[in-house]
Amino acid sequence: MIVPFTKMQGIGNDFVVVDAISQALYLNQGQISQLAHRNFGIGFDQLLLIEAPQHPEADFHFRIFNADGSEAGHCGNGARAVAKYVRQKGLTWKRELRLSTNTATMNTVLEDNGLITINMGKPRLEPEKIPLRFAEASDAYAIEVDGIRHKVGAVSMGNPHCVLTVDNIATAPVQELGPKLSQHSYFPAQANVGFMQIVNPEEIKLRVFERGVGETLACGTGACAAVVVGRLQNLLKEKVKVGLPGGSLWIRWEGKGHQVYMTGPAKVVFEGQIDI
């Protein structure tokens, strides 16, 4: 089967985007992981399948698959890519769209400057909704790894995140500590792990180890989670510039009970076809 695709990226977080509205398409986990291979496939962090809306309030539904073939519930950078894709492909002429995933529904706005703003929804802070194996919610949790206790924040942005503050992200143990925290027994669904360096109350630097992917150049939900944790710990202001290895995002969160807003770019890299 020949499948057309579009390769896209949002500050280095790269995607293969496929229109699954006009064609029936089913891919198993092995096929997805092979497509994701950087040498023997197309190569991507996530595969995004755009589908018809599943409820009347949404314009489009999309599914997110990690490079290992596992399915994710939410992807902020991916939502920006989807919004730009459906507009450029003529699937819609709207500048304001409502997109749904398996765990979230987002309003997106294509701004005049080419950036895309997404309403990422309210962060989930209750341990059972993250999910996190702690009895009570807290702004900071102590999790032990290899005999060392780490102070972390935890939040769900449609997928679980663990965030810890470091002095310097250049020397942060992302490759060593990231997978151990991601797969820690406290996180029954695993977690994305963010290493956050606070430059000042309105700017942070961030590296993210994503479950099912490894370290990526960018993670939209990870940027949102980091700002939420920083705000809960009284370290950050309402509007924060988040510098990731692939570029910058702008996150706004007023506080508990409010929605998180993310603004950033999405770009087409190339178009192609692949025989599956």
> Distances from the Cα of 269 to the Cαs of 36, 198, 262, in angstroms?
16, 32, 22
Consult the annotation and say whether 76 binds a ligand: yes
- Catalytic one of 120, 143, 219, 224: 219
221 annotated as a binding-site residue: yes
The strand ranges marked E within the chain are 2-10, 13-19, 46-51, 60-66, 71-72, 96-100, 105-110, 116-121, 141-145, 148-156, 160-165, 192-200, 203-210, 214-216, 239-244, 247-253, 260-264, 267-275
What residues does 107 pair with on adjacent strands? Answer: 98, 119
Handedness of CA 145, 147, 148, 150 (dihedral sign): positive
- Confirm whether residue 147 is marked as ligand binding: no
Q: Choosing from 48, 75, 169, 218, which is the catalytic residue?
A: 75
Residue 75 falls in the annotated catalytic set: yes
How far apart are alpha carbons 160 and 110 in whole angstroms?
27
Does the annotation place 66 within a ligand binding site?
yes
Query: Across the strands, what pairs with 200?
Result: 203
Is 77 annotated as a binding-site member?
yes
CA separation for the pair 186, 172 (Å, rounded):
22
219 is catalytic: yes
Q: Is 159 annotated as a binding residue?
A: yes
Instruction: Name the packing angle between helices 220-232 and 76-88 (round to 10°).
Output: 140
Say if residue 23 carries a ligand binding annotation.
Answer: no
As annotated, the binding site includes 13, 46, 66, 76-77, 159, 192, 210-211, 220-221
- Residues designated as active site: 75, 219
As annotated, the binding site for substrate includes 13, 46, 66, 76-77, 159, 192, 210-211, 220-221
